[in-house]
Amino acid sequence: MTRRHSSPVPSSLRAAFEADKLSALKHRRLNVERLAELLGTTPATLYKWIETDTMPVRALIAWQHLTGAVHVVRYLASREGAVVVAIPTGRTASAEDVHALQATVNDAIGALLDYLRGSLDRDSTLGRLTTGLESLAWHRANVEKADQPELEF
């Protein structure tokens, strides 16, 4: 299964850090103390970075690797008008993949309609639109690579 994003882009850098931190705890059983140790810093320093949105750039790649999440990276990319696309392998998409894409795109269009009606805020709308763009871009790249699929290891 490919790594695609089904959740909206976080609305703030703090929310992105919190989502990554939660992912590290839930999926990798890494608490803040262990994350700090692996990042070569203290828990107090890591808490300060998260609370003040000031994590050094040199620590971001390690943070992403340790937490196994891309919320911070997606948030930063979205603030620059970019999207993050997981590199696909070029394998044929399943019917479930296409249904998930359809649901994601429908959600993005629904968010846009809600925004235009005034019932959804800007950040939520942008997050859901970005998720739709990321999903479409992944499928586009997957089709492009279909002639040369990657081997599983």
Give the pLDDT of residue 3: 46
Average pLDDT of the segment spanning 121-128: 90
Name the pLDDT band for 29 (thresholds 50, 70, 90): very high
Give the pLDDT of residue 152: 62
Report the alpha-carbon distance of residue 141 to residue 90 in Å, rounded: 8
Helical spans, DSSP H, in the chain: 13-28, 32-39, 43-52, 57-67, 71-79, 95-117, 122-144
Average pLDDT of the segment spanning 4-27: 87
The average confidence (pLDDT) of the chain is 89
Q: What residues contact 86, with CB distance under 8 A and at least 6 apart? A: 2, 3, 4, 5, 138
Give the pLDDT of residue 81: 85
Give the pLDDT of residue 92: 81
Name the pLDDT band for 151 (thresholds 50, 70, 90): low
pTM (two decimals): 0.69
20 residue type, one letter: D
- Is the pLDDT score of 122 beyond 50? yes
pLDDT digits (tens, 9 = 90+) for 81-98: 888 877 777 778 889 999
- Is the pLDDT score of 153 beyond 60? no
